[in-house]
Amino acid sequence: MTLVHWLAAILTLLGLGYVTLVVAAWRRYGRVRRLARAAPDLLLDTFMPAYDVLERHHIRIAAPREIVFAAAAEMNMQQSPIIRAIFATRAFVLRANADATARPTGLLDQMRSLGWGELAMSPGREVVMGAVTQPWDPNPRFQAIPPGSFASFREPGFVKIAWTLRADSRRGGGSDFWTETRAVATDAKARRKFRWYWARFSPGVALIRYLSLAPL
């Protein structure tokens, strides 16, 4: 086989893999299997006990939880060329405008500058961030909702998203680090739009979450 044939075969396999992930995400939407874990995330459950989609990732780190949590809060995901490429691909597909705003590099400060709000904080251990938005918009706006109103927010046409950074101490030393994202649409129309959006872009979202573990 020539180099061109090899490249064509690789691109074909990548395309088939992507289509498989899209179909799986479409079928799984709204039927999330609650994943078992040793310690339920009570903070996150307070704000979003039911959801349409779920992304959860975990890594074990040989460092105290306070150090792990602090490192997670300050990490700069834009340092990853793959993550930058994923964001650029979304912008190209949806024809989004470039964000010319100068933003902080630390993860939590950057998310706050985009409009995300802090729903809850357990110092040195966990933070829950949340916002409502319309993800299918090429340039989505993130609107923070007061913690006391987040769970009951039902304004039509939006998707509520909550995500966490969490570090748990392990027996014998070290930490378990978790990042979890949940989302739920506020009405049937938003649910249809978000389901199609999520099916197409969830492979990229999952890859971003996975790659964000590497710097830790």
215 contacts 79 by C-beta, under 8 angstroms: yes
What number of other Cβ atoms are within 10 A of residue 14's Cβ? 10
- What's the pLDDT tens digit per position in 1-14? 676 555 555 555 55
Return the pLDDT at 169: 94
- What's the pLDDT tens digit per position in 139-170? 999 999 999 999 999 999 999 999 999 999 99
Query: What does residue 123 show for φ and ψ, rounded to 5 degrees?
Result: -50, 130
Which residues lie below 8 Å from residue 81, measured CB to CB, with a gap of 6+? none
Q: What are residue 179's DSSP bridge partners?
A: 57, 165
- Say how far apart CA 105 and CA 87 lie, in whole Å: 16
The larger pLDDT score, comparing residue 40 to residue 146, is at 146
| DSSP string of 144-171, one letter each residue | ---HHHHTT---TT-EEEEEEEEEEE-T
Which residues lie below 8 Å from residue 190, measured CB to CB, with a gap of 6+? 134, 156, 157, 158, 159
- What's the pLDDT tens digit per position in 63-88? 999 999 999 999 998 888 888 888 89
pTM: 0.87
In the numeric block, which tokens belong to residue 8?
A: 């064509």
174 contacts 157 by C-beta, under 8 angstroms: no
Once rounded to an integer, what is the mean pLDDT over residues 46-74?
93
C-alpha 6, offset from chain centre: 34
Pair type for strands 159-169 and 175-185: antiparallel
Return the pLDDT at 69: 96
Split at pLDDT 50, 70, 90, the class of 25 is: confident
98 contacts 13 by C-beta, under 8 angstroms: no
Give long-range contacts, CB 8 A cutoff, 24+ apart: 117-120: 117/144, 117/145, 117/146, 117/147, 118/147, 119/43, 119/47, 119/147, 119/150, 119/162, 120/43, 120/46, 120/47, 120/147
